[in-house]
Structure 1
Amino acid sequence: MNRPDPALIQILGELSSGAVSVEAAADLIAASQRDTSAIANVEGATVDLGRADRCGFGEVIYGEGKSTELIQRIAQAQLDAGQSCLVTRIDPTAAAQVRRNFAFIHHNPLARTLRIGLTSESLKPPKLDAGQPHVAVVTAGSTDHCIAEEAVETLAWMNVPYSRFEDIGVAGPQRLLGVVGEIRRASAVVVIAGMEGALPAAVAGHVASMVIAVPTSSGYGAHFNGLTPLMGMLTSCAANVAVVNIDAGFKGGFLAGIIASGLAAAKTPVTQ
């Protein structure tokens, strides 16, 4: 005789005790029965369709070095599975070709991203309501704008609300002090900086949330194309700073988005 599924027993126990509603229990049971190892074999790629159920968000398509045909095959497999798509580091020519083949698509040339949705509504930026968990995206200088755009497009794909604070680097400290009250409201902060990379530590000293530091490749010779701010951020005295790779706006946005989405899920009330 087959033994009962322990996860199913737990869900039914929580339903019996009133810890979860009937609707929530149904969702949990459906989730427990999904095939989280699902894949789609397309020419040139093995698409991980189970990642959304395992990790909360689907597979992201890294566009650099991929043909437009391959990008389209991967995206179509995701759409067929009911998943929206994010393509990063895609050049303008490839983006223009891909755009002709999908109904609902948003291209951000500064971010070098494409978002491909199931509906036009899914491409709209998430609405930021008061008190809602969200991410603040902060740039030190205007030259960091394109990396911030990649972070913002990532958050939009994740449906995580965000606020933006631009050009508030440490060369003008009054600029940070003027907005720090607003930044404190965020559940996580992405700070993008080149040059010496000092801004993440300065922001971190003002907030109780995680600061995801993104070093950029903008700067002069001794900046070493981003190595100087990377090393500075890694050796930050501020304990709440975590660092991603040079120019990695996607990674910074994704990590902060996970934090905010997790807090949003924890705050969702359970209806009895």
Structure 2
Amino acid sequence: MDLNEVKELLQNVKSGSMDIEKALEKLQDLPFKDLGYAKIDNHREIRVGYPEVIYCAGKTVEQIKGIIEFMITKKNNILGTRASKEAYEAVKSICPKAEYNKEARTITIKNKEVKTTSTYISIVTAGTSDIPVAEEAAVTAEIFGNKVERIYDVGVAGIHRLFDKLEIIRQSKIIIVVAGMEGALASVLGGLVDKPVVAVPTSVGYGANFGGLSALLCMLNSCASGISVVNIDNGFGAGYLASMINKL
């Protein structure tokens, strides 16, 4: 339930088209629903503008299914991240319109139309191996109503590939840069554009990459201005932040 729905409910009570008991029934799960193993934050969209997202890793299939089964009743769009195919099949058994992005490992359920932004977010990867993290960012941004341009495999090892797409990137409102290895692509783009850059270090790379730490430190130490950095492999965090900036 978002602010507009709360206002509509109160107006209906005021006008007499809804009785108090029915209104209380609709409000009884605010601010959260306690399922025992999870407390679903139904108040989040009112506070921050976005409904709660399910981080599926570490949860059992039955827990994920139970959480989504309740969330469906609220008629919001639903996003589950780091979800297995097994979890998706369980969710699909109770909600046939659920969709699964194998690369992003996301479950999405679209219960209502969200107006799509006229401005767009560019999501740029250094390599093909970075695409799963980029897709998590893309799916996140899209379900929150953002137009997304995907520009993949344009890393510094062949920088002419980046220049070929530079005009598309420059016209976006915000840029997400996803890179592993030494993570240099964020610095390069930061020096070429006049838009904010959200850098996502990935765990892609050989041993001295230290599971993404080398890319993380390179991005944090970038001499280019206007770059913010999220955690290693955190495509969701990048997509969420970019959505907030794109809608300002």
Structure 2 length as normaliser, TM-score?
0.85
CA contact (8 A) 2:54 2:81 kept: yes
Query: Which whole-Å CA distance do the structure 2 matches of 1:156 and 1:79 have between them?
Result: 19
Structure-1 separation of matches of 2:230 and 2:92:
30
User: How many equivalent residue pairs?
Assistant: 230
Change (3 A) 1:57 1:141: same
CA shift digits 1:15-69 (9 cap, x unpaired): xxxxxxxxxxx959928x7989621122311100111111110111010111222
Flag the 1:83–1:28 CA change in 2: closer, same or farther, 3 A. Answer: closer
Match of 1:133 among 96, 109, 119: 119
Aligned AA for 1:172?
A: G
Q: CA RMSD in A?
A: 2.5
* Paired residues for 1:61-72 under 5 Å: 61-72=54-65
Amino acid at match of 1:73: G
SS of 2:123 mapped into structure 1: strand
1:95 and 2:88 are equivalent in the alignment: yes
Task: Give the conservation status (yes or no) of the 8 Å contact 2:68–2:91.
Answer: no
What are the ranges of 5 or more consecutive residues in structure 2 without an aligned counterpart? 12-26
How far apart in 2 are the matches of 1:127 and 1:140?
27
One-letter identity of the residue aligned with 1:200: A
In the alignment, which residue of structure 2 is the partner of 1:81? 74
Q: Deviations over 1:172-212 (max 9, x none)?
A: 11111111111011111100000100001111111111100
Aligned to 2:140: 154
Between 73-82 and 104-113, report the one with greater CA deviation: 73-82
Say which SS state the counterpart of residue 171 (structure 1) adopts: helix
Cα distance between partner residues in 2 of 1:158 and 1:40: 23
Cα distance, 1:78 vs structure 2? 2.1
3-state secondary structure, aligned to 2:182: coil
Q: Which residue of 2 aligns with 1:245?
A: 231
**What letter matches 1:197 in structure 2?**
G
Rounded to whole Å, the distance in 1 between the matches of 2:5 and 2:30 is: 18
2:102 is matched with 109
Cα distance, 1:143 vs. partner? Answer: 0.5
Report the CA distance between 1:153 and its aligned residue.
Answer: 0.9
How far does the alpha carbon of each residue in 1:91-140 deviate from its partner, in whole angstroms, 9 at most, with x for none?
12222222211032110111111002226x67xxx867xxx222100000
- Give structure 1 regions of 4+ aligned residues with deviation exceeding 6 angstroms: 33-36
- 2:203 maps to 1:210: no
Percent identical pairs in the alignment equals: 37
Q: Does 1:254 align with 2:240?
A: yes
TM-score (norm. length: structure 1) = 0.78
Structure 1: tracts of 5 or more residues without a match: 1-25, 263-272
Preserved CA contact (<8 Å) 1:43 1:70: no
SS of residue matched to 2:161: helix
